[in-house]
Amino acid sequence: MVAPVKKYSAEFIGTFVLVLFGCGSAATAGGELGYLGIAFAFGLAIVAMAYVIGPISGCHINPAVSFVMLLSRKLSGRDFAGYVISQSAGAIVASMLLYAIVDSTGVRVVNLGQNGYGAGYGIGIPAGMAFLVEVVLTFVFIYVILGITSSTSHAQITGVVIGLTLVFVHILGIGLTGTSVNPARSLGPALLLGGQALSQLWVFLAAPLLGGLLAAIAFRRLNVEKAK
């Protein structure tokens, strides 16, 4: 059995990498990379971390994933709290480093890959639609996670499938909300930037949790035999 401190440390590192490389790509090279490049930055971070920290903590690096594992009784309440704290800390530290990198150029820091909606962000969808988008994107992402992790026969390709799923939800979502599907990923940049990013954070905390809950319900109703 893996010691809790090792699991929490792994979740910290994994979320740190996801936010630094995913949000960092959006903040520093988004114009050159485009939506597809940013999407792959997030997805490849998941692939890389899955094969390194997966055997330690399961590579959740996302409070919404941990929430679903708690509901599925695959994670204890104590570990859930430890995971969420570690994931949030990893995201915040990564955002602090990213802020320092951009700030060192003497340019005012206005972009840390934060999520958002409304006028001036993406195509300008309103709050209610942003919430719905995040619920749907998270539902798809976590439904795939539940499916691919339901059998040990998929172990060798699990990281690749999850990473590519994160890529394709980003391809649609970046122009709408920046794609959260992960409360920790949204928390770090919003805390560092404040202002609009922080005032809109509630959408990117609540919607992924609801999307995860709906995915867990759908999986139990539709895939229960497979899950066994």
Residue partners of 85: CB distance under 8 A and separation at least 6: 8
CA–CA separation, 183 and 195 (whole Å) = 18
pLDDT score, position 228: 44
pTM: 0.95
CA–CA separation, 217 and 188 (whole Å) = 29
Pick the CATH number of 4-227 from 3.30.1490.20, 3.20.19.10, 1.20.1080.10, 1.10.340.30: 1.20.1080.10
pLDDT score, position 225: 67
Reduced to 3 states (helix: H, G, I; strand: E, B; else coil), residue 1 is coil
pLDDT score, position 86: 98
Residue partners of 97: CB distance under 8 A and separation at least 6: 20
pLDDT score, position 227: 44
CB of 164 closer than 8 Å to CB of 75: no
Residue partners of 52: CB distance under 8 A and separation at least 6: 14, 59
CB of 193 closer than 8 Å to CB of 207: no
Burial class (CB in 10 A: 0-12, 13-18, 19+), 23: buried
C-beta neighbour count of 79 within 10 angstroms? 20
What is the residue extent of each domain of the chain? 4-227
Q: Among 124, 92, 115, which Cα is nearest to 38's?
A: 115
CA–CA separation, 203 and 177 (whole Å) = 10
CA–CA separation, 165 and 118 (whole Å) = 26
- Low pLDDT (below 50) residues in the chain: 226-228
